[in-house]
Amino acid sequence: MIQVQRSFAGESGGTLYLVATPIGNLEDMTFRAIRTLSEVDLIAAEDTRQTRKLLTHFEIQTRLVSYHEHNKRASGPELIRLLEEGTSIALVSDAGLPAISDPGADLVRDAAERGIPVVPIPGANAALSALIISGLPTERFLFAGFPPRQKKALNEWLTSVAHEPGTLMMYESPHRIEKTLAAMLEVLGDRRIVMARELTKRHEEAARGTISECMIWLEEHPPLGEYVIIVEGRTAQSGSSGSLAGTGIAEMADGVPNGAGELWWSALTLDAHVRHYEEQAKLDRKEAIKRTAADRSMQKRDVYNAVMRKDERE
């Protein structure tokens, strides 16, 4: 049976407000968010210590309780009970919009199932902020969340989105981003991406390039801060290569075959791999070695030494 919510119809019972908080810059807090947090009966926060700093800054005195992944089974039913009794509750995450890749989604589901109004209080969002500065297509996009940690699960996860025509958005930690990019290169091909970090903060940065170029960049600039990775979708990245399916022919971009599937360089020797970049992509020897090392997840010096030894033998 269809359920219709009229958020401001003045019905009895409480309301669950989903309040966006800044992702780095306190000036991104909206007037409506401040008013809502001041007026509700209770604020449920993912990290009460983090949220308390925000409330103190804006002189908000509302009672604060904890709701996170590890206590949601106990806290969730209690919050629903309070809502049904008429308590107004604001849900906040550490930063950005709540209920996106966090346990708030469970609370929203339970509230909606019971006919409790759920009202969004919009504001900052890291994924969309990175998307609109990326320079990649924005007509269609998919937020994929956090990549799995284990290699097998990560490869399966990437395979599941490999044919998505829209731009992909995902979050990654500085400790895992290099491994994730290596897996992306293997499964998705050398697509254009953007690595955005420190969004809205003083050291905001967006690194734009192919996956292999960004891997080289991270070798020379160790990752810092949480990242949003924006990845070119298959349609934009592979052009009309779909018409070549099954022919054994792949379109090329900068001397590199597009698209996912078997690694394009798997049949090449190390030396041939480097020469491919020199001849097809018109790169100098140093840059060709960097690209080859990134493709194979090798150290640049190991590729350099192997190629130089072969040149000496010849």
The CATH number of the domain holding residue 145 is 3.30.950.10
Report the distance separating Cα 207 and Cα 213, nearest Å: 10
- In a shared domain, residues 142 and 191: yes
Q: What is the CATH number of the domain that holds 45?
A: 3.40.1010.10
Count of structural domains, the chain: 3
Domain that holds residue 230: 127-237
258 located within any domain: no
The answer to whether the CB of 144 falls within 8 A of the CB of 161 is: yes
313 located within any domain: yes
**205-210 sheet: strands from edge to edge:** 141-145, 167-172, 227-231, 192-197, 205-210
Q: Maximum Cα–Cα distance for the chain, whole Å?
A: 85
114 located within any domain: yes
Q: Within the chain, how many helices (H) and strands (E) appear? A: 12, 12
* 167-172 vs 141-145, strand pairing mode: parallel
Number of Cβ atoms within 10 Å of the Cβ of 189: 24
Write down the pLDDT at residue 54: 97
157 located within any domain: yes
- In a shared domain, residues 23 and 119: yes
- In a shared domain, residues 285 and 231: no
In tens digits, the chain (314 residues) has pLDDT values of 888 898 887 666 799 999 999 999 999 999 999 999 999 999 999 999 999 999 999 999 999 999 999 999 999 999 999 999 999 999 999 999 999 988 899 999 999 999 999 999 999 999 999 999 999 999 999 999 999 999 999 999 999 999 899 999 999 999 999 999 999 998 998 999 999 999 999 999 999 999 999 999 999 999 999 999 999 998 644 443 333 233 233 444 555 555 444 567 777 788 888 888 888 777 888 888 888 888 787 888 888 888 887 666 66
- In a shared domain, residues 134 and 211: yes
- Token match 């070695």: residue? 289
173 located within any domain: yes
6 located within any domain: no
**Domain stop point among 93, 124, 155:** 124
Q: pTM of the entire structure?
A: 0.75
**Domain stop point among 218, 237, 256:** 237
Write down the pLDDT at residue 203: 94
User: Cα-Cα-Cα-Cα dihedral of 144, 150, 153, 158, to 10°?
Assistant: 40
**Domain stop point among 124, 154, 180:** 124
Report the distance separating Cα 249 and Cα 184, nearest Å: 22
